[in-house]
Amino acid sequence: MRFRCVNLVLLIVLTVGPVLAAPLPAAEQPVDSKTARLLKPAEHGVGQFIEDLEFQDLQGRMLRLSDFRQAKALVIAMTSTSCPLSRRYLPTLTAIAQQYSQRSVQFLLVNSIRTDDRQAMQTAAASLPAGVPYAVDADESLLRRLQVVSTTDVLILDPARTVLYHGAVDDQYGVGYALDQPRRRFLADALDAVLAGQTPATAATTAPGCVLEADAAVTEPAAVTWHNRISRILQQRCMECHRSGGVAPFALQTAAEVAAHGGMIKQVVADRTMPPWFAANAPQHTLWANDRSLTEAERRDLLAWLDGGRPEGNPEDAPQTKVWPAEWSQGQPDEIVQLPQPIQVKATGKMAYQYVNVTWNGQQDRWVRGYQIQPTDRSVVHHVIVNVLEPGQQGNRREEGVGGYWAAYVPGNSGQMYPAGFARRLPAGATFRFQIHYTPNGTATSDQLRVGLYFADSEPKYEVSTIPLARVNLSIPPHAANHVETLTRPVPMDIPVLAYMAHMHVRGKAFRFELQDPDGVRSTLLDLPKYDFNWQLRYDLQEPQVLKQGSKVILTAVYDNSADNPANPDPSRTVRWGDQTDEEMMIGYVETYAAPGERRGRSVGRATAAATSSAQVLFSLLDRDSSGLLDMAELERVGERFPGLKAENGLLERVFREADGNSDGKLSLPEFEAARDQIRRR
């Protein structure tokens, strides 16, 4: 094989402490990435089947990957004695192999550089723990079939030879830098997840090293069969719902079940209705942790298999059987909160939103690291919003949704598990307030919804909260096929973001989150060009984004109030804000986090906390230019809603002046809330 030159002009210096290593020769330039960068797993081979490849080790023994099928996982690590980054990672790989071999993990090192010195390879192999083969891939068969791209690439395979992880060992070494300790231990974290029966949180990264490129032409891929390819696609993309006991109307766990629904599958896969995922690719590098979309290769192979005789192939190529939870997707909750009695759902027509309060009898604050909402009859529940009220706090129906949420159940999202160190606060003696939207389906039934709570063992590093950005003064004209509404909100402080979610009703057509930086440059945060009311998904970021102070968040929503919208209940009416499906909403939810109590205790955080009160609704109605600030003329509009205020001459002007803390002639949301408090105390 040969190294591919990344940049003949660039001289890259690798450092260890104060010592500078010599620049690498042009033929050995490392991958053009200074450190490991996250990748979309399915586009980096994760989930694919690896054939039972044969190889030779340094002792001349012929081995096969299947020789290690008794191990709980097989780690294949690329290496080279001539690439500096590979040499630096050899002690790290040795230590990890020593640690995890005691937990039934097999390691295999592969050298595909045929010009590497044989004696140097023997020396490297001698440093490895006993039982770790050092393969010499002289014919590049492993290089081609494993689809590795650098001399520091690592793969984790399960006993069925399905790729579970493909990427870097860690981020300790990269192009032009070296750390005393890694900040992220990708391989070790992935192994811990695999051994616990979980999917690695980070399943694919680049691996900065010397680039590998095979000299010979790539071998023709094996024929696509149910066992070696299609079953894995369905398992990873569809069976979460389409399985026995799942929420989908039929299972897709066997070749026969898939063949029986082949016509429908071809239609929804071809038009990208399924799997449900509506985010367009952003111009910048954005990865979604819960991206369930098919890659182009997966879509191509699935459609070709359905059209091509649907061969089952060799059963020995089948993936490991995935064990799905029988009831709760995350296992038995620590506590279950249920409605005190069933709610009767009529057979036809519409039902007003149901509001139910349930007191939680906990004697001390708890931190909730995750939750799952379970209707007892999913077929009639469209969505659920759960708010948690402090003891003595009264709920306001107008705040539901507009005031954010503590937990939510919407089509496509029944719950959430937060990363380690993140949780939501559940105050002692709190009240769970449920807003439930039932949609009769032709058969009278009942539902007694419940919430499973998963508690953290201690106070988390970060408290999770939700910021709702709502435009409530909607006015969608009759017969308008592309009516646009926008909302702009300033970012009052640095806001880290975990996820976004858009909410509209049946006239919703498209939704976009954008960020405008202080220099006026706009970038896309989330683009939903084909919004679907039936699938209101959260879009969870693989790594948090930070919305910088001084920027602006711009929301754009498009509505179809025409007769061409088949879900439109009445194209002849002007549509305004309202709870019911035949009315409309425009809410962009931003899930954020801060140190526990920081947002609740700091005045600067009131811009966020105030968004959870009815003040935001009134603020949005008064803010005619959507600037995120109210001038005096806009504040005076409050008199249109509360005529009694007009009788008190000078009241609004005086309150405005006193609340305008920075004397800029404008009221921010927290300043407006202070003004409203003054008016209430008058």
Q: What is the pLDDT of residues 11-65, one digit of tens each?
A: 222 222 222 223 333 233 344 457 899 999 999 999 999 999 999 999 999 999 9
Greater model confidence, 446 or 603: 446
Architecture of domain 335-460: Sandwich (2.60)
| From-to residues of CATH 2.60.120.230 in the chain | 335-460
Confidence check: pLDDT of 637 > 70: yes
Q: How confident is the model at residue 667 (pLDDT cuts 50, 70, 90)?
A: confident
Percentages of the chain per state (helix, strand, coil), in multiples of 5: 25, 30, 50
pLDDT, position 185: 96
Return the CATH superfamily for domain 605-682.
Answer: EF-hand (1.10.238.10)
| From-to residues of CATH 3.40.30.10 in the chain | 2-213
Q: Kindly report, residue by residue over 310-343, the tens digit of the pLDDT.
A: 999 999 999 999 888 778 888 899 999 999 999 9
In the predicted model, what is the mean pLDDT of residues 487-502? 92
Closest CA to 669 of 624, 631, 630: 630
Greater model confidence, 15 or 598: 598
Least confident of 600-604, 641-645, 669-673: 600-604
Confidence check: pLDDT of 247 > 80: no
pLDDT, position 633: 84
2-213 CATH pick, 3.40.718.10, 3.40.50.10950, 3.40.30.10, 3.40.50.450: 3.40.30.10
pLDDT, position 284: 59
Mark out the alpha helices in 101-161 (DSSP H runs): 118-126, 141-146
- Cα(121)–Cα(207) distance, rounded to whole angstroms? 21
Least confident of 357-361, 593-597, 623-627, 646-650: 646-650
Q: What angle do CA 136, 137, 140 make, to 5 degrees?
A: 170
Confidence check: pLDDT of 239 > 80: yes
- Cα(498)–Cα(464) distance, rounded to whole angstroms? 9
Q: How confident is the model at residue 395 (pLDDT cuts 50, 70, 90)?
A: low
* Identity of the residue numbered 198: Q
pLDDT, position 512: 97
Q: Taking the model in full, what pTM does it have? A: 0.78
pLDDT, position 71: 96
pLDDT, position 612: 36
pLDDT, position 459: 93
In the predicted model, what is the mean pLDDT of residues 531-543? 88
Greater model confidence, 87 or 671: 87
Q: Kindly report, residue by residue over 197-216, the tens digit of the pLDDT.
A: 989 999 999 999 888 876 65
Q: How confident is the model at residue 400 (pLDDT cuts 50, 70, 90)?
A: low
As to burial, measured by CB atoms within 10 angstroms (0-12 exposed, 13-18 middle, 19+ buried), residue 63 is: middle
- Cα(71)–Cα(74) distance, rounded to whole angstroms? 7
Mean pLDDT score across all residues of the chain: 85
Q: How confident is the model at residue 168 (pLDDT cuts 50, 70, 90)?
A: very high
| From-to residues of CATH 1.10.238.10 in the chain | 605-682
**Local structure of residue 378 (DSSP, 8 states):** G
What are the CA-CA distances from residue 202 to residues 174, 178, 182, 194 (Å)?
18, 22, 15, 12
Q: How confident is the model at residue 144 (pLDDT cuts 50, 70, 90)?
A: confident
Confidence check: pLDDT of 151 > 50: yes
Confidence check: pLDDT of 76 > 60: yes
Confidence check: pLDDT of 426 > 50: yes
- Contact (CB, 8 A) for 153 and 186: no
Q: How confident is the model at residue 282 (pLDDT cuts 50, 70, 90)?
A: low
* Bridge partner residues of 467 (DSSP): 590
The rounded percent of the chain whose pLDDT value lies above 70 is 86
